[in-house]
Amino acid sequence: MTGRQPLAARALFTAAAVLTATLALTACDPEGTDGDAAAPAAASSGSTAGTPSGSSSGKPATGTAKPTPIATPPASSGAPAAADGKRRLTEARTAGGLLRGTGEAQLSDVPVDPGEMREGMTLVETNYQRQKGRPVLFAGVDNVPEEPSKRREHLWRGLIDYAAGQGGTGSPGASVAYPAGPLGGNLECFPLGSDALCGWVDSSTAAVALFPATAPTDAAKLFAAMRADLEH
């Protein structure tokens, strides 16, 4: 009996040592392996699929929000026409060295039908006096909404009717292109009996003029000089 007691005592001591080691390992990892498995689940529960970032929970978004781009304000519709590359017509006091008609030489009405006039368009119809003979009648429109060459055709027809009413005779001859000057575009003149009719056209303006008792070549040179004072 006494020989077995030491063996039992050693077995009891060994069991106690194993229990002590187990308790020590458990103390080093208090949450156990269950904590590692629960971490992804806890992270995924914070962003539920289908929930908008602006929900009523009141919690701020944890991600980095992208800044909202600032919209550029639209350009002002009240900008002058020159800012759009369009030119304007003015009733110049002198045009190509010719003085604007005053007194009895001044127009009292609009002898040439300008066609449809819309808001923002300018109509210029005036006489420019020469030293001898009848004045040069000028008619022009700016900010033309349609193809400007069509408006020039309309002005030419009105000018032909006006010339006929002033005693002009003959039929319009062939139109010939002449140098348009520094403003570019197209400038053409043609004979109407002993008179000459000229017209220019560019991207936004159309204008014509009647030169009594003048050859088309001479009228083209004078018309180009007048244009430099009338169009800006």
3-state secondary structure the chain: CCCCHHHHHHHHHHHHHHHHHHHHHHHHCCCCCHHHHHHHHHHHCCCCCCCCCCCCCCCCCCCCCCCCCCCCCCCCCCCCHHHHCCCCECCCCEECCEEECCHHHCCCCCCCCCCCCCCCCCEEEEEEECCCCCCEEEEEECCCCCCHHHHHHHHHHHHHHHHHHCCCCCCECCCEEECCCCCCCEEEEEEECCEEEEEEECCCCEEEEEECCCCHHHHHHHHHHHHHHHEC
pLDDT for position 87? 93
pLDDT at 127: 97
Partners of 189 in the β-ladder: 176, 198
> pLDDT value at position 52?
39
- For residue 206, the cross-strand partners are 141, 201
Tens digit of pLDDT at every position of the chain (232 positions): 444 444 444 444 544 444 444 444 444 444 444 444 333 333 333 333 443 344 344 444 444 444 433 333 333 333 334 445 789 999 999 999 999 999 888 898 899 999 999 999 999 999 999 999 999 999 999 999 999 999 999 999 999 999 998 888 789 999 999 999 999 999 999 999 999 999 999 999 999 999 999 999 999 999 999 999 999 9
- What is the predicted pLDDT for the residue at 84? 59
Confidence (pLDDT) at 162:
94
Q: Evaluate if pTM is beyond 0.85.
A: no
Name the nearest CA neighbour of 152 among 40, 67, 227: 227
Cα 53 to chain centroid distance, Å, stands at 38
Per-residue pLDDT, 14: 47
